[in-house]
Structure 1
Amino acid sequence: MLHTHEYAHISDGFVEGTTVECPRHAGCFDFRTGEALNPPVCVNLRTFPVKVVDGAVYIDIDER
């Protein structure tokens, strides 16, 4: 598996608008699309469709 932000958890990153910043290297991603926005990140993140129904979050992780 290719990691674009090494062993840092992107969930620990700073979020502003629709961008999340990797806490290890400060590379930014658009969390709607997973697009890598600036160096040093160069590989897009994988994203999944989500929906909220009656307060429950559903994530479609189908391996298409």
Structure 2
Amino acid sequence: MIVTLFIAAAFVIGFLIGENRAVRQANDILDANTKVLLEAIGGEPPAIADLDEVGDDRPTLH
């Protein structure tokens, strides 16, 4: 019974350590993406002339 309890405790501790690592990695990814997003927002908007060079006008389908 005690061995089973120790095995269960080891699984719980391992899960919590893995969960902590996953959250840390996810936060690093989100920080990097936030920096890219803020740089894109802070940049100059595209000029109207650049938008006209896209190509054929496609009709909007409703």
Bigger relative CO (Cα 8 Å, ≥ 6 apart): 1
Larger helix proportion of the pair: 2
TM-score scaled to structure 1, two decimals? Answer: 0.15
TM-score scaled to structure 2, two decimals? Answer: 0.16
Larger strand proportion of the pair: 1
